[in-house]
Chain A
Amino acid sequence: MSIDKSMQVLIVDDYKTMLRIIRNLLKQINFNNVEEATDGSEALSKLRAGTFGLVISDWNMAPMTGLTLLQEVRADNRLKTTPFIMITAESKTENVIAAKQAGVSNYIVKPFNAETLRDKIEKVLGNA
């Protein structure tokens, strides 16, 4: 299945450096239409105002965490089917379970490599 790489992707992280890294890695796999947000609240506003084909979000952010953002997205009729990948340093079983129960599409633990990012994106968008 071919993936539309012109889709708009929202990346969410409170570390500007991480946003820059993910943006560059996405660019290398030809996702050039990338928007950024630095916490869940800003991300939710952007999601509600636009049309995004994929969300890639950190978990540990304030005031709204990535998990709350995911729950808000899944509770929103227009956004609920948006593929959502969590990229986080939270690697405890309870975190993965909570994210899965909230409806996460895939889960990447930091530190991650470009191959893992590409693989998860392909899996998520291939199933979308």
Chain B
Amino acid sequence: MVAEVVRAVLTTMTGDLTPIEASLLQEVEALGRTIATAKQEIAALRVDDITASHIPLATDELDAIVSHTAAATDAILEVCETLDKVADGLTGMPAEQLRNATTRIYEACGFQDITGQRITKVVTALKMIEAKIANIVVTFSDQRQSAVIPEAQCPTKLLNGPQLPAVAMDQSDIDKLMASFD
């Protein structure tokens, strides 16, 4: 397109070009070549690989992480339930110590839910990146007939998922907020 513009400008000009005009045209032509090269490079990115292979592979790996941690957590919980039954047969300090220990393990196993939700957020972000890359490639390449991948749906209102610890409200903040309504 830039080359076409240069040619159009040249056809409208009469007489010799001034040094400034010649320099300007050279720069415009160079700009056109840079843009053409960039278009070729972007087209060579092979967005099909991203959408057909890279992103699905990444999301499959993340799903596998969720699956493995769920299996491990279930195994831990099963052992804890056995320990609770042992505690039921004990009395006094040993029973209390055993129950306190299993309580701590139950609490810690909540990580599986939180990590699962965080991974879901990552998968959603990957899908949005996939869609945006596809749109950029279609825009800058000559593959204007390529199907544009729709952007992943924005998260439903009020479904924000776990916040990062540095910015999240903790239970005491929530309690204060809840109390402010009373």
Complex contact A18–B110 (CB within 8 A): yes
Interface flag for B177 (CB, 8 Å): yes
Complex contact A111–B103 (CB within 8 A): no
* Interface set, chain B 125-174, CB cutoff 8 A to A: 158-163, 168-171, 173-174
CA distance A14 to B156 in the complex (A): 17
Q: Which residues of B contact A24 (CB under 8 A)?
A: 77, 80-81, 84, 102, 106
Q: Which residues of B contact A91 (CB under 8 A)?
A: 162-163, 168-170, 173-174
Q: Which residues of B contact A28 (CB under 8 A)?
A: 84, 99, 102-103, 106
B interface, by DSSP: helix, strand, loop or mixed? helix
Binding site for A on B (CB under 8 A): 70, 73-74, 77, 80-81, 84, 99, 102-103, 106-107, 109-114, 116-117, 158-163, 168-171, 173-174, 177-178, 181
Complex contact A60–B117 (CB within 8 A): yes
Interface Cβ pair total, 8 Å cutoff:
102
A88 to B: closest C-beta gap in Å: 9
Interface flag for A49 (CB, 8 Å): no
Interface flag for A90 (CB, 8 Å): yes
Give the number of chain A interface residues (Cβ < 8 Å): 36
Residues A96 and B174 in contact in the complex (CB < 8 Å), given A17-B74, A17-B112, A111-B111: yes
- 8 A–B contacts from the bound complex (CB under 8 Å): A17-B77, A17-B113, A89-B117, A90-B161, A95-B160, A96-B177, A109-B169, A111-B107
